[in-house]
Structure 1
Amino acid sequence: MTDNRDESLEQRRRRLSAALAERDAEEAAEAKRDAQSEESRRGMALGLKISSEFIAAIAVGAMLGYLLDRFAGTGPWGMIILLLLGFCAGILNVLRAVGMVALPPSLAGGRDKKRKP
């Protein structure tokens, strides 16, 4: 009778171990999928940030150029020059966001530590 009980207990223990191993494998696969989707979301957020900064810089340059031309009567030159400056500012923003260009020392120093007088 005790042998039968021990065998039954051992069988139940094996089934439970197999079920736990299966559950652990499923949880590991789910954690891996979650990590991949999180990385994908980060990439999408960075892409949207970079594109919106680039487009905003060009739009601001074009608007300021249009207003300058309209009120100062400078013809198309104000818009052309400020549109090009906006494009350059957009490129600089993209390069800064990607990390290929560092912030100016005046801005970088203010973020890391306070200036001493």
Structure 2
Amino acid sequence: MPVLFLIPLFTGLVTAYIFKKSTDEIGQLIGVVAVISLALGLILAPWQVQLLLLVVVLVGTQKLLQQNEYKLRQQKKQQEQPNYNHSRQASSSEVQKMENEFTRKYRGVNY
């Protein structure tokens, strides 16, 4: 198995580290070099490494999808559960409506 793909891969990793630590404009240029080196390293990698990377990405996205579905189900359950505080507020608003029907206000004063 040829190991020449490791040269641009490690170059990309080193430049990515420098990019994270740098705050100057040269950091942006190094960031571009890091992205190009990492892409080149993955392109030059043997098919076994590429297949392994593909499997890792597919399994990782599957787990993320399951976590998101679980969170959505939890949110739906919370929305479907009756909110007892809300029903108490509704009854107090009904009482307030009845009071407003019998009394009138003029500039904030009941009469």
When the two structures are superposed, what TM-score results if normalisation uses the length of structure 2?
Answer: 0.42
When the two structures are superposed, what TM-score results if normalisation uses the length of structure 1?
Answer: 0.41
Instruction: Compare the two structures and name the one with the higher helix fraction.
Output: 1
